[in-house]
Amino acid sequence: MATTRPLPPLTRRRAGSERSIEAFLFMAAAVGVLTTIGIIVVLGYETLQFFTKVSPVEFFTGTVWSASIKPYQFGVVPLVVSTLMVAAIALVIGIPLGLLSAIYLAEYATPRVRTLVKPILELIAGIPTIVLGFFAINFLTPNILKALIPSIGGFSALSAGIVVGILVTPLIASLSEDAMRSVPRGLREGAFAMGATRFEVIRKIILPAALSGIMASIILAMSRAVGETMAVVLAAGTNPNLTLNPLESVQTMTAFIVQISLGDTPADSIQFYSLFAVAALLFAMTLVLNLLSDWIVRRFRNAYD
């Protein structure tokens, strides 16, 4: 029965330096929190200014967006629909590619293949998104999409969606693979012992067990796709068109923000405030998605210990 000896008391100098280190680390954490609070305050204030000039009803339900050409109309529905359409196409590409890569890496790949393939997959996440945008506009659309669908234009939601899908694949693959690898070996080995094939084990044991992690990765990928800017601006164009046809050129919320920022807008014009309103809406959407992903992980996590 060991009794723990009390630690020797800190000398005054060491206690002082301990406290200052703690204060310094606290300040570092506080910078992040304060920045977020600052962003929320600025967005909120300017958005309120916007809503004194344009009615929220018109903003949220209007179907025409004409921010620079008179008569000004600020219906955000075309921008939101375009953003969701591009994100949906991105998920259609990213989920199968990401999930299947994750299953391969977690269950089938030999350790040697894994050390080779996993870094290459994560390399895709490191490609600057503007480079992916150029890839879409200069290679994907003229050579591949035009060959498959001759009626497609130079800018389209499909092209943007494909490129953003490539972008989120490593995100889904990486997080899903981590989720799958954290399923305890005992479950796997028990299933094998009962005569299940490898694929049956994956389908019936691993995927359901890792489901919360996989779903969280999908929602994070969606939030990334919604917020993606440069690749979408280049590939989808700047036409605020309300359509569900992915072959047409559309303008997402992020593309609108870029368009107005690149031109010049005086600080008290309605376009300036519309910028903040759209940014606030985007912020709110990604916040909801991130909170949802947190909640799913917590609610559906299976505790195996």
Nearer to other proteins, 258 or 292 (CB): 258
Q: Which is nearer to other proteins, 153 or 286 (CB)?
A: 153
Q: For the chain, what percentages of helix, strand and coil (3-state, to nearest 5) are there?
A: 75, 0, 25
CB of 78 to other proteins, least distance (A): 10
Return d(Cα 240, Cα 67) in angstroms, integer.
Answer: 10
* Tokens 């497609």, located at residue: 152
Q: What's the closest the beta carbon of residue 240 comes to other proteins, in angstroms?
A: 7
- Report the alpha-carbon distance of residue 207 to residue 229 in Å, rounded: 32
Residue 75: CB minimum distance to other proteins, A: 12
Give, for 125, the enclosing helix (H) or strand (E): helix 111-126
Tell me whether residue 146 or residue 181 sits nearer to other proteins (CB atom): 146
Nearest distance, CB of residue 142 and other proteins, angstroms: 7
Q: Cα separation of 125 and 121, whole Å?
A: 7
Residues found near other proteins in the complex (CB under 8 A):
64, 66, 68-71, 73, 137, 141-142, 151, 153-155, 237-241, 249, 259, 262-266
The phi, psi pair for 11, rounded to 5°, reads: -70, 165
Residues forming a β-bridge with 66: 73
Q: How far is the CB of 239 from other proteins (least distance, A)?
A: 4
Amino acid at residue number 219: I
For other proteins, the closer CB: 264 or 305: 264
If the CB atoms of residues 38 and 142 are measured against other proteins, the closer one turns out to be 142
